[in-house]
Amino acid sequence: MMSDREYDAIIVGAGFAGLYMLHKLRGLGFTARVIEAADDVGGTWYWNRYPGARCDIESFDYSYSFDEDLQQEWEWSERYAPQPEILRYLQHVAERFDLRRDIQFETRVERASWNDDTKRWTITTDAGDSFSAQYCIMGTGCLSSFNRPDIAGLDDFAGRVYLTGHWPHEGVDFTGQRVAVIGTGSSAVQSTPIIAEQADQLTIFQRTPNYVVPAHNYEVPAEEAQAIKQSYAELRATAQESSVGSGRTLPRTPVLATKLDEDTFQADMERRWAVGGLVGFVGAYADLIMDPAAAQRVEAFFADKIRERVKDPETAEKLIPSGHHIMSKRLCVDTGYYENFNRDNVELVDLKATPIDRIEAGGVRTSEHLYEADALVLATGFDAMTGALDKIEIRGKGNQTLAEKWESGPITFLGLMSAGYPNLFLVTGPGSPSVLTNMVSSIEQHVDYIAGIMSMMRERGAQEFEPLPASEPAWITHNNTAAEMTTYMQANSWYMGANIPGKPSIFMPYIGGFPAYRNICDEIADKGYCGFAIDGEGQPCDIDLDDHMMRLMPEELIEAMEAA
Ligand code: NA7
């Protein structure tokens, strides 16, 4: 029998996380192999090829910072790069750092099992490989497991069904077709303006309207690109101190939204609207995600913008979100989404008023009407943060699967590791800032941190690293404390797992801010990795987690909280 191929680390996934992890470990002299299901690098940017797909963090920001030459030589053409360009960037990174020779494509990891005698993971794949590695590193992505909704009759549909997260590589031409799109999240907001230009008829089925802000995307002039590159160090340093890990967001208005007089507030909002995107609105006011009254003020401004942009008043009212606060579901960034509804060939169906009854061969039947369609687009999102991990049978100590341990919701320390699964790292796992930040900043922070742990372990000649069991409830309590201070807990969002029937309702990402999180991680490392056990020995994490978060809260918010 052939023995397992041995590595220091097996890395699952060749997206932003897996590529940098491989490069980092190689540089430190570790042996590593990446296993990737697709036939190329790219991760989420490999699969999400729907028309209009692009990043919603500015390209110069949404890119690796680890190599100065890389960031100087790569040319971003647009403020928000389209998917093909981001994919080309990741392909370039793979070539430039000669990564492909250690990536095994078209192979899906099926199982990872911890062997407590050898202190190693055995990783097996659908191609029949078996690898042995001291570390297993999951770069499986937060939005990579597509949600195919369980709508009655879906399989009866006679036309083609497309998933935005699994779009045909050859592209789709909807010319002359009647198209039905289900979902109104980012993927639908980005794709429907382009589909509308091709299709004869486009019907958009909306369960929940989202807050949508214009991208104001543009081709980046050479002088602007040059100026950004010259100040890249500053941009990256700003990102490290930004609550969302982004170097290009507009600075916070130093007065709470609830305290601004009407004229100043309107002027400030117009200034932000002109910049657009998450750039203009994330962290706009210290009370925006903390105080429903602040959120409502901003929401009223957004509602007026929808009324301005959508000509038919009835359609405009249907598009105005209600029942959840702005930001508590991810803000969508658009180019022409609302203007879509001014076209004669586009119709909005409000599923709250007339729910889908079933899908039939000829189209989508609601409680009121059959909407005939030749093609159906499911822009229905992802089983976020845990979906891709759940698909792998991960067995730790005592043979328990991670999915079993997480039956009532993900349990981690720092969103990085789970007790009982030694040497298993989750890059931007649930319980880390991840999807609430610029993903590339969070990925780089985690990759560097994991590499630091592995180097420390090698120096000590240690074999086994895992959280102390007590670290997890403390981390979860801190996560909940942070989330409960915000309006996020009240929304039926994918952050809460609410889009997947039966998924436990837990706020999954860490909302205490990227700098607080990084400081906590760093202090833990400085204290010899307190809260973790190294070969079974460890000190409890005695860090005041809440204090780390509160220390970085804006002064105006603290003052208001004290006054209240
Ligand atoms: P999202 O944001 O999860 O959007 C999915 C949309 O699909 C959302 O409007 C859902 O409504 C809707 N949906 C899901 N299931 C159904 C069913 N069964 N019936 C009707 N409508 C449904 O995914 P995206 O791909 O657009 O964006 C994901 C992230 O990618 C985005 O946040 C960016 O970070 C990039 P709901 O709101 O659940 O009522």
Q: Burial-class residue 316 by CB neighbours within 10 Å (0-12, 13-18, 19+).
A: buried
The response to whether residue 184 sits with its C-beta less than 6 Å from ligand 1 reads: yes
DSSP single-letter state for residue 232: H
Q: Is 187 in the pocket of ligand 1 (CB under 6 A)?
A: yes
pTM > 0.95: yes
Q: Does ligand 1 have an atom closer than 6 angstroms to the CB of 14?
A: no
Cα of 345 vs centre of ligand 1, distance in Å, is: 23
Joined together, the tokens standing for residue 239 give: 């990102």
CA nearest neighbour of 202 among 42, 375, 29 = 375
- Cα–Cα distance for residue pair 522/407, rounded to 1 Å: 30
Our answer on whether the CB atom of 389 is closer than 6 Å to any ligand 1 atom is: no
Nearest ligand 1 atom to the CA of 499 is 38
Check pocket membership of 207 for ligand 1, CB cut-off 6 A: yes
Beta carbon of 452 within 6 Å of any ligand 1 atom: no
| Protein residue whose Cα sits closest to atom 23 of ligand 1 | 381
C-alpha angle 24/444/381, rounded to 5°? 120
Task: State if residue 144 touches ligand 1 by the CB under 6 angstroms criterion.
Answer: no
Which pLDDT value is given to residue 9? 98
Residue identifier of the C-alpha nearest atom 37 of ligand 1: 208
Distance CA 225, CA 229 (A): 6
Assess whether the C-beta atom of 388 lies below 6 angstroms from ligand 1: no
- What does the pLDDT read at residue 3? 60
Question: From the CA of 490, how far away is ligand 1's center (Å)?
Answer: 17
| 502: CB partners within 8 A, 6+ apart | none
Q: What's the CA-to-centroid distance between 328 and ligand 1, angstroms? A: 13
Strand partners, 123: 112, 131
CA of 223 to the centre of ligand 1 (A): 38
Q: 149 CB less than 6 Å from ligand 1?
A: yes
Nearest CA to 285 among 508, 549, 442, 487? Answer: 487
**Which atom of ligand 1 is nearest the CA belonging to 378?**
7
Tell me what pLDDT residue 563 has: 87
| Residue whose CA lies nearest to ligand 1 atom number 36 | 208
Closest CA to 276 of 335, 318, 223, 221: 335
- Please provide the average confidence, as pLDDT, over all residues in the chain: 97
State in Å: Cα 164 to ligand 1 middle.
11
Cα(89)–Cα(70) distance, integer angstroms = 10
The answer to whether the CB of 190 is under 6 A from ligand 1 is no
- Residue with CA nearest ligand 1 atom 12: 183
Q: Which two tokens stand for residue 185?
A: 């999240």
Structural domains of the chain, with CATH: 6-145+384-468 (3.50.50.60), 178-378 (no CATH)
434 in contact with ligand 1, CB cutoff 6 A? no
pLDDT, residue 2, reads 46
Residues in contact with 420: Cβ distance below 8 Å, sequence separation at least 6, in sequence order: 396, 397, 398, 400, 405, 466
Residue 208 CB–ligand 1 contact under 6 Å: yes
**Å from CA of 541 to ligand 1 middle:** 37
The number of beta carbons lying within 10 Å of the beta carbon of residue 146 is 18
Q: Which atom of ligand 1 sits closest to the CA of residue 330?
A: 32
What is the mean pLDDT, run by run of 10 residues, along the chain of 564 residues? 80 98 98 98 98 97 98 98 98 98 98 98 96 98 95 98 97 98 98 98 98 98 97 97 95 97 98 97 96 98 98 98 96 97 98 98 98 98 96 97 97 98 98 97 98 98 98 97 95 94 94 97 98 97 94 90 85
For the CA of 48, the closest atom of ligand 1 is 25
Q: Tell me how crowded residue 162 is: count the other CB atoms within 10 A of its CB.
A: 21
Q: How far is the CA of 329 from the centre of ligand 1 (A)?
A: 10
Q: Which residues, listed in sequence order, are joined to residue 375 by a DSSP beta bridge?
A: 160, 179
HSE on the CB side for 39, CA within 13 Å? 1
Best residue among 499, 505, 508 to mutate for probing ligand 1, ranked by most atoms within 8 Å of CB: 499
**Pairing, β 5-12 against β 363-366:** unpaired
Residue nearest to atom 18 of ligand 1 (CA): 149
Q: What is the pLDDT of residues 201-248, one digit of tens each?
A: 999 999 999 999 999 999 999 999 999 999 999 999 999 999 999 999
Where are the alpha helices (H) located in 347-466, listed in sequence order? 387-390, 402-405, 439-460
Ligand 1, atom nearest to 189 Cα: 26
Residue nearest to atom 29 of ligand 1 (CA): 186
For residue 183 and ligand 1, the question of a CB distance below 6 A is answered with yes
- Residue in 187, 357, 435 to alter for ligand 1 test, most ligand atoms within 8 A of Cβ: 187
- For residue 339, how far is its CA from the centre of ligand 1 (angstroms)? 20
* Dist. CA 182 → ligand 1 center (Å): 9
- Ligand 1 pocket residue status of 186, Cβ below 6 Å: yes
Report the pLDDT value the prediction gives residue 562, as an integer from 0 to 100. Answer: 86
Span from the CA of 268 to the centroid of ligand 1 (angstroms): 30
Quick check: CB of 143 below 6 Å from ligand 1? yes
Cβ partners under 8 Å of residue 435, min gap 6: 142, 143, 330, 384, 385, 428, 495, 509
Q: Which two tokens stand for residue 30?
A: 């570790």
